[in-house]
Amino acid sequence: MKGYMGKVLRVDLSTGGIWDEPLDESLARAFVGGSGLAARILYDMVDGETDPLGPDNPLILMTGPLVGTPMPSAGRLAVCALSPLTSIWGESNTGGFIGPELRFASYDGVIITGRAERPVWLSIVEGRAALHEAGDLWGLDAYETQERIRERLGEPKARVACIGPAGEHLVKMAAVMNDHGRAAGRTGMGAVMGAKNLKAIAARGSAQVPLADPEGFKAVVREITADLDEDMVALSIRLAGTAGYVDMALMYGDLPIRYYQRGEWEGASNLSGVLMVEQFQNRNTACYRCPIACGRETRAPRYGLEKVDGPEYETLGALGALTMVGDLEAVIYAGHLCNRYGLDTISTGVTLALACELFERGILTKAATGGLEIRYGDAAVLHHLIEMTARREGFGDLLAEGSAALAARFGVPELAVTVNRLEVPMHDPRAFVGLGATYALSPRGACHLQGDMYGVDTGQGPPVELGVVPGDRFESSEEKGRIAARQQAWRNLYNAMILCHFQNPGVERVLAALNAATGWGLETHDLMTLGKRIVTLKRLLNIRRGLTRADDRLPDLLLQPLSDGGTEGRVPEMGPLLAGAYAEYGWDPETGTPPGEV
């Protein structure tokens, strides 16, 4: 197989068994890699009754055919399982260097089942894997864990994916952390690791990814790299990180404020990426072979920190604007706490903002919070709640279950801003209504990286050759629903190859790179076929888990127009958007069910 290492590592933690399995070439050809191939593998291993926190739920780490190659911004890893937060398909995606290093260690992926009797960690070095005792690592934060494991392995350049206290305590929004503050954040994959008593996975190797056409691959990489200086989106991200989008998001009404209920707020300007560069940034950081370098090393001297990872746009929105904390340094520190403890900043921020809203409305009182007043804008209390959540201490035990559970616990499920129990990220579908279809049909619950319609309708490199055409951001039509479905399929293919979403070299170059890596000889239309197949597979898996047409919806708060800001009182009209998306995928318009089986 070209473009693949040709094998996956199997680990049964219940027995301690470790063995290699050949990668199924037919499945790789049909589902590519990353979350696509992981979903196909998981499909045969779970059913409607599998407990996401049980030993039978496989944890799958999967790379793709472009990972670890010279392709720019292809240094990613998919971390997948049934989600303990949503109970349906769960996937997360992380950058850094752990994905390429897994391939250099000779594997395309790792499939982990069972549960160890005591805490363990897994090493994968030059094609050899072993389990090690981790009892004395249990309780350490994500930064300490990564450092300790590199020391024990005697490999200072080893890459480590691990959990912090949040994963150990089975917090349902727990992340898997790697490369300092990089995170596979969404859907609670850290809790799956914690339930398996698996503290960390370390990889190191020197193997090379075999390419079908090395010279052709080099040529397309040269073209992509040469044109980067003309890519204004990439250049802006290089200058101010994703935080640079804050000001534009405010203009469009895309930045959620005060738990998705306001369109404007003066304090949001204090969260600007430009301000962060001027006052708190130390340097840019980059993932494997990435010329964009969107990462940021910052500082928070008020909290005694001279080196902090991040924050990026989603963290600034979730832990800043959503909770009305306009103090940039306080938000930087909140993001740092999430990294230390291993928490998804999006789900954490949304859940904290919900707590603020419940307290504001008198639904939540000090009797339930252990005496804490949870107010919008109170950074110190929010910092404390992050720590309580990570350890499930006091009221933090309720927060650790996520927004949907918190709202239901206090009798107001309609106040949960979630789709299929996953918290809505920091892009408002009232600002770009195509996101309504994206969120409602996202296989993992509300997710902007399953189809970034805000990027499409602002002309940020959409694949127009595949029918993804920019248009009116307020247009709730069947055609807009079709476009959203195509973009969703395209991004699912991205998450299978795996490519960073900030790298948009165009359809022809992506196709050329994939063909040069694999030798498949694909044509342009085959890319959309692959993407739709992956989305449909995840849909079938979710239907097995109990998902129905009634679940394809937005939360109530996002269907209420705002009187201020950039959304002009608009809301998505979900009927035509969903009708168009179903038609594009070929799913039954009444039931939302795909025809046939896998």
Assess whether pLDDT exceeds 90 at residue 423: yes
| Mean pLDDT (whole number) for 397-407 | 98
The pLDDT mean for the chain works out to: 97
Nearest to 493 by CA among 43, 36, 74, 65: 36
Task: Based on the fold, state whether residues 495 and 552 are members of the same structural domain.
Answer: yes
Assess whether pLDDT exceeds 90 at residue 236: no
Contact, 10 vs 111, CB < 8 A?
A: yes
Domain of 352, CATH number, reads 1.10.569.10
Residue 522: per-residue pLDDT: 98
Cα 374 from chain centre: 28
* Sheet order of strands, 305-309 included: 281-285, 295-300, 305-309
C-alpha span between 248 and 288 (Å, rounded): 28
Residue 7: per-residue pLDDT: 98
Task: Based on the fold, state whether residues 18 and 161 are members of the same structural domain.
Answer: yes
Residue 597: per-residue pLDDT: 75
- Domain presence at residue 426: no
Give the lowest-confidence range in 137-141, 479-483, 485-489, 592-596. Answer: 592-596
3-state secondary structure of 7: strand
User: What CA–CA distances, in Å, run from 501 to 74, 218, 237, 242, 589?
Assistant: 10, 21, 12, 12, 30
Q: How does residue 232 score in pLDDT terms, banded at 50, 70 and 90?
A: confident
3-state secondary structure of 583: helix
Strands (E), 397-492: 418-419, 422-423
Assess whether pLDDT exceeds 80 at residue 598: no
- Domain presence at residue 518: no
Task: Based on the fold, state whether residues 166 and 96 are members of the same structural domain.
Answer: yes
C-alpha span between 312 and 407 (Å, rounded): 27
- Domain presence at residue 279: yes
| Mean pLDDT (whole number) for 482-501 | 97
pLDDT in tens, 546-557: 999 999 999 999
Peptide bond into 595 cis (omega under 30): no
3-state secondary structure of 113: strand
- Domain presence at residue 597: no
C-alpha span between 372 and 386 (Å, rounded): 13
* Residue 135 buriedness (CB in 10 A; 0-12 / 13-18 / 19+): exposed
The conformation of residue 364, written as its DSSP 8-state character, comes to: S
In Å, the largest CA–CA distance within the chain is: 67
Contact, 32 vs 493, CB < 8 A?
A: yes
Angle at 34 between CA 540 and CA 588, to 5 degrees: 20
Q: Which of 419, 450, 468 is the endpoint of a domain?
A: 419
pLDDT in tens, 435-462: 999 999 999 999 999 999 999 999 998 9
Task: Based on the fold, state whether residues 30 and 69 are members of the same structural domain.
Answer: yes
Residue 233: per-residue pLDDT: 82
Supply φ then ψ for residue 138, to 5 degrees.
-65, 125
SS3 readout for 531-558: HHHHHHHHHHHHHHCCCCHHHCCCCHHH
- Domain presence at residue 593: no
- The amino acid that residue 112 corresponds to is I
DSSP string, 218-234: HHHHHHHHHHGGG-HHH
Task: Based on the fold, state whether residues 261 and 237 are members of the same structural domain.
Answer: yes
Domain of 571, CATH number, reads 1.10.599.10
Task: Based on the fold, state whether residues 344 and 445 are members of the same structural domain.
Answer: no
Q: How does residue 486 score in pLDDT terms, banded at 50, 70 and 90?
A: very high
Assess whether pLDDT exceeds 90 at residue 234: no
Task: Based on the fold, state whether residues 327 and 471 are members of the same structural domain.
Answer: no
| Mean pLDDT (whole number) for 12-18 | 98
Residue 431: per-residue pLDDT: 98
- Domain presence at residue 534: yes
Assess whether pLDDT exceeds 90 at residue 231: no
Task: Based on the fold, state whether residues 414 and 469 are members of the same structural domain.
Answer: no
Task: Based on the fold, state whether residues 498 and 378 are members of the same structural domain.
Answer: no
Task: Based on the fold, state whether residues 411 and 537 are members of the same structural domain.
Answer: no
pLDDT in tens, 279-336: 999 999 999 999 999 999 999 999 999 999 999 999 999 999 999 999 999 999 999 9
pLDDT in tens, 101-126: 999 999 999 999 999 999 999 999 99
Total count of domains within the chain? 3
Q: Which of 386, 419, 452 is the endpoint of a domain?
A: 419
- Domain presence at residue 210: no
Domain of 346 in residue numbering reads as 232-419
C-alpha span between 119 and 194 (Å, rounded): 9
| Mean pLDDT (whole number) for 1-6 | 97
Q: How does residue 78 score in pLDDT terms, banded at 50, 70 and 90?
A: very high
- Domain presence at residue 226: no
Percent of the chain with pLDDT over 90: 96
Domain of 67, CATH number, reads 3.60.9.10
pLDDT in tens, 253-272: 999 999 999 999 999 999 99
| Mean pLDDT (whole number) for 196-201 | 98
Task: Based on the fold, state whether residues 415 and 436 are members of the same structural domain.
Answer: no
Q: How does residue 162 score in pLDDT terms, banded at 50, 70 and 90?
A: very high
Task: Based on the fold, state whether residues 443 and 415 are members of the same structural domain.
Answer: no
